[in-house]
Amino acid sequence: MGNSYTTPTNRDWGREPIERTEIIWITIAFLWCLFMFGWMIAWHWIGNQNMKNEAYRTTPEAYSIKLADQLTKYPVRKDEASGEDVVMPPPGSDIYLAGMQWQWRPIFELQKGKTYRLHLSSLDVGHGFSLQPENINMQVYPGYEQVTTVTPNKSGTYGILCGEYCGGGDAVGHHTMLGRIYVKE
């Protein structure tokens, strides 16, 4: 009564010496694993894909005050397409964007080649911040204010999408959770 179709000729096969070619392949695989592990660590510093950002504890109420202050501090106009407020902060300023069911607010108008400190937070549940067509993706949570430095290098209209299912059982508006950033010359 055995567990295989054919019985091994040598029942003590686990004690047989490993062949030279097998040792070479095991060594190559081990060295490749070490190289890839080191490359992942090094790529964090030499790759440009990692955003340098800060995170702070906040509350939705405190963040809402920052949003309201921004609307009164910087010139505001109404967006022609949606009627929403468009904030035009000066270069080098801190700008505040909030995700809430089912919208990103406010809409920004930024200057090409100028640097801004973008603050992101959620006022209700976790959201996914996805800036298109740049393919920048971040998770945004209530209670946390994430800050990253952005310098738009192309003029045009950028779309902000929510890449995280944010509606619970009644996510009828999740697919409409869109925001915009206009970049002007």
By CB atoms closer than 10 A (0-12, 13-18, 19+), residue 76 is middle
Under 8 Å between Cβ of 183 and 155:
yes
Please tell me the predicted confidence (pLDDT) of residue 7.
76
Residue 171 pLDDT class (50, 70, 90 cuts): low
Residue 44 pLDDT class (50, 70, 90 cuts): confident
Does pLDDT of 51 surpass 70? no
Please tell me the predicted confidence (pLDDT) of residue 91.
94
Q: Which long-range contacts (CB under 8 A, 24 or more apart) does 133-141 make?
A: 133/158, 133/159, 134/158, 136/51, 137/163, 138/51, 138/53, 139/164, 140/99
Under 8 Å between Cβ of 180 and 160:
yes
Domain parsing of the chain, residue ranges:
13-46, 53-184
Does pLDDT of 169 surpass 70? no
What's the DSSP call for residue 52?
-
Does pLDDT of 45 surpass 90? no
Does pLDDT of 77 surpass 70? yes
> Three-state DSSP class for 39?
helix
Record the tokens describing residue 50, joined without a space: 């990692």
Helical spans, DSSP H, in 4-162: 20-46, 60-73
Does pLDDT of 2 surpass 90? no
Could you tell me how many residues make up the chain? 185
| Alpha carbon separation from 123 to 1, 41, 61, 99, 144 (Å, rounded) | 66, 34, 8, 6, 10
Does pLDDT of 175 surpass 80? no
What mean pLDDT do residues 123-141 have? 88
Please tell me the predicted confidence (pLDDT) of residue 49.
62
CATH code for the structural domain at 53-184: 2.60.40.420
What mean pLDDT do residues 78-82 have? 84
Q: Which of 129, 123, 147 lies closest to 59, judged by CA?
A: 123
CA dihedral of 46, 47, 50, 53, whole degrees rounded to 10: 30
Q: Which of 29-33, 39-43, 70-74, 163-167 has the lowest mean pLDDT?
A: 163-167
| Alpha carbon separation from 77 to 71, 162, 165, 170 (Å, rounded) | 10, 24, 31, 32
What mean pLDDT do residues 91-95 have? 94
